[in-house]
């Protein structure tokens, strides 16, 4: 049986394509070959019978473009998976649901326009939980197909982990990108809220929905972010670097951190030791002593907005919704305007308080487990999003890094969280942390040292 796990270096592939050492048609053919080889086991993509013909035609058009390497855009010829709540011209949007695609149609998303302008090719739609809520799609975890890949951006994370594409687009409302990154052992980037326009994306909860991306390493997501995010600052990141070049890291001590499983907390303690040994200052900061109230506040806003986003569709097609989504909509319908506005007020206060806590402690980045533990052996659930909840609530940029393995061999992740709007600083600081976590010292629970293109370590 074909090995399911493979990593593709986005920066390396992009450089080869731009220089002419590779060409878009060959890259598209390799992508289709890889999809043909492993998709039946991973189920990361929405089925598309004519995918190869469509993608090869797009690649031929790209190859007929600028022949001068200097005139080729940054993602020239790169095949990209796009989560199936994001509208792409020529491809139906089903949002993981049984609703008719024509009812869900809309104009092509701004993020897709930016991908195409940067030279990318759309490899296809990737599987999502129904309407990016909680009802899982069919995708399997490439590390072990008996385990969930997470959600709701399950297909995008699994497509990158299995080497079907070097780049994929997902969304996060609560934990829909960072958790799948941890479960699938890839790098996931959720920018600051609003940094990538969500026009052309089917909403989950509009006050939280954020577009992001997956790649095999930090350099890959940084390349993608530079062309997808509004107002990207290449020079500004360097100008605002922390003193001494290394960020001060903060651990959010309190009820929030206690929600992680024992295994995740043990791994997190080991990650802290590795980072301190590498020269990072790490400070414990007591925060979120009212964590249960924070969870309640987000739940109130989220479910209220889910119900409003689906008001028309649910009235027409409610019998086609899956039970988990029906429950979410019904819960939102029961929340009144006054409770929603009160929750919005509490959220604003939480954002201000969290920023003040970080400033008072003198930290540049928060660090925390990316998930409560490794991917559960449960394909009826996408896992728990609680470790991402406060950061999504505050609209902060987050980055999920592979960081060792659980006792069962499945990946674990570390989450880095920056200040609002400081996406460039987060991604500039991350490679040093990524490198420290990838060192071979530390025994079998440590992440494998480095990742080479074509790496095929995986369960079979």
Catalogue the active-site residues.
83, 152, 176
CA distance 284 to 271: 14
**311: its two tokens:** 């008001």
Provide the edge-to-edge strand list for the sheet that holds 79-83: 121-126, 79-83, 167-172, 210-215, 187-190, 398-405, 411-417, 365-369, 249-253, 282-286
Cα 412 from Cα 240, distance rounded (Å): 30
- State which H helix or E strand residue 403 sits in: strand 398-405
Helix crossing, 51-63 with 24-42: angle to 10°?
Answer: 160
C-alpha pair distances (Å), 150 with each of 146, 263, 387: 12, 18, 13
Q: Which residues contact 224 (CB under 8 A, 6 or more apart)?
A: 10, 75, 167, 189, 213, 215
Closest CA to 108 of 172, 227, 198, 194: 198
Cα–Cα distances in angstroms (integers) from residue 378 to residues 130, 145, 210, 383, in the given order: 17, 10, 26, 8
Cβ contact 434:389 at 8 Å: no
Quote the CA–CA distance of 169 and 445 in Å, as a whole number.
Answer: 29
Could you give the residue ranges of the DSSP H alpha helices within 43-133?
Answer: 51-63, 101-104, 110-117
Distance, in Å, from the CA atom of 94 to the CA atom of 88, rounded to the nearest integer, reads 11
* Cis bond upstream, residue 152 (ω within 30): yes
Spatial distance between the Cα atoms of 352 and 339, rounded to a whole number of angstroms: 20
Burial class (CB within 10 angstroms; exposed 0-12, middle 13-18, buried 19+) of 448: middle
Q: Which residue has the tokens 């011209």?
A: 89
Residue 293 main-chain phi, psi, to 5 deg: -70, -35
């Amino acid at each position: 049986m074909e090995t399911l796990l493979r990593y593709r270096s986005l920066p390396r592939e992009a450089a080869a394509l731009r220089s002419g050492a590779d060409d878009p048609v060959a890259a598209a053919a390799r992508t289709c070959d890889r999809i043909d080889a492993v998709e039946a086991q991973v189920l990361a993509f929405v089925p598309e019978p004519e995918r190869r013909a469509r993608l090869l035609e797009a690649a031929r058009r790209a190859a007929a473009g600028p022949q001068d390497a200097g005139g080729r855009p940054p993602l020239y010829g790169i095949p990209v998976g796009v989560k199936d709540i994001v509208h792409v011209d020529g491809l139906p949007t089903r949002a993981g649901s049984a609703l008719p695609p024509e009812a869900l149609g809309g104009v092509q998303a701004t993020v897709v326009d930016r991908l195409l302008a940067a030279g990318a090719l759309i490899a296809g739609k990737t599987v999502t939980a129904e309407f990016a809520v909680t009802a899982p799609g069919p995708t399997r975890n490439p590390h072990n197909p008996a385990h969930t890949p997470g959600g709701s951006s399950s297909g995008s994370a699994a497509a990158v982990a299995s080497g079907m594409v070097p780049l994929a687009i997902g969304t996060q409302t609560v934990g829909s990108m960072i958790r799948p990154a941890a479960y699938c052992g890839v790098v996931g980037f959720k920018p600051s809220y609003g940094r990538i326009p969500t026009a052309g994306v089917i909403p989950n909860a509009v006050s939280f929905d954020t577009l992001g991306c997956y790649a095999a390493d930090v350099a890959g997501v940084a390349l993608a972010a530079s062309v997808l995010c509004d107002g990207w600052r290449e020079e500004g990141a360097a100008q605002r670097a922390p003193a001494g070049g290394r960020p001060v890291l903060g651990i959010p001590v309190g009820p929030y951190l206690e929600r992680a499983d024992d295994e995740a907390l043990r791994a997190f303690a080991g990650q802290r030791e590795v980072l301190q040994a590498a020269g990072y200052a790490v400070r414990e900061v007591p925060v979120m002593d009212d964590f249960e109230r924070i969870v309640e506040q987000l739940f109130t806003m989220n479910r209220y907005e889910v119900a409003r986003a689906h008001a028309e569709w649910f009235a027409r097609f409610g019998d086609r919704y899956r039970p988990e989504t029906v429950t979410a909509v019904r819960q939102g319908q029961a929340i009144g305007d006054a409770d929603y506005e009160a929750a919005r007020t509490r959220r604003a206060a939480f954002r201000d308080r969290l920023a003040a806590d970080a400033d008072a402690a003198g930290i540049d980045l928060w660090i925390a487990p990316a998930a409560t533990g490794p991917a559960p052996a449960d394909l009826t659930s996408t896992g728990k999003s609680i470790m991402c909840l406060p950061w999504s609530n505050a609209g902060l940029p987050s980055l999920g890094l592979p960081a060792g393995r659980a006792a069962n061999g499945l990946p674990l992740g570390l989450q880095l969280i920056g200040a609002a709007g400081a996406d460039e600083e987060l991604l500039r600081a991350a490679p040093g942390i990524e490198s420290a976590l990838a060192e071979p010292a530390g025994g079998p629970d440590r992440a494998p040292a480095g990742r080479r293109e074509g790496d095929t370590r995986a369960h079979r």
